Amino acid sequence: SSELTQDPAVSVALGQTVRITCQGDSLRSHYASWYQQKPGQAPVLVIYGQNSRPSGIPDRFSGSGSGDTASFIITGARADDEADYYCHSRDSSGHHLLFGGGTKLTVL
């Protein structure tokens, strides 16, 4: 399969922990990355290689994965974490990039 599936929307109370999941067969052979996108802005890479953070990304953000599922976790959600989050990986050939449909995170 060449698809990545995400829940369309997730909500979290301020200060609580939230997990956003991404499912796809390609995740069995390729790590997931995660992007945060706010309205009118380009996506920002927040997790790569399943569980690594680029420079400048807070350690409240983390990633994990097992089998065909990858997870993005925010510990201690803040109001400015409200955004769309996309998982990203490659297809089985490794040459084609894939994106999940995105999860809209609401911080209550």
Partner 1 sequence: QVQLQQSGPGLVRPSQTLSLSCSASGVSVINGGYPWTWIRHHPGKGLEWIGHVYFRGNTYYNPSLKSRATISIDTSENQFSLELTSMTAADTAVYYCATGTGYSAPDSWGQGTLVTVSS
| Contacts of 9-12 spanning 24+ positions with Cβ under 8 A | 9/103, 9/104, 9/105, 9/106, 10/103, 10/104, 10/105, 10/106, 11/105, 11/106, 11/107, 11/108, 12/74, 12/77, 12/105, 12/106, 12/107, 12/108
Q: Which stretch binds partner 1 (CB under 8 A): 19-27, 29-37, 58-66, 70-78?
A: 29-37
Q: Which stretch binds partner 1 (CB under 8 A): 11-19, 44-52, 59-67, 75-83?
A: 44-52
Of 5, 10, 25, 48, the residue at the interface with partner 1 (CB under 8 A) is: 48
Of 5, 25, 31, 60, the residue at the interface with partner 1 (CB under 8 A) is: 31
Of 33, 36, 62, 71, the residue at the interface with partner 1 (CB under 8 A) is: 33
Judged by CB under 8 A, the number of residues near partner 1 is: 21
Closest CB to partner 1 among 18 and 85?
85
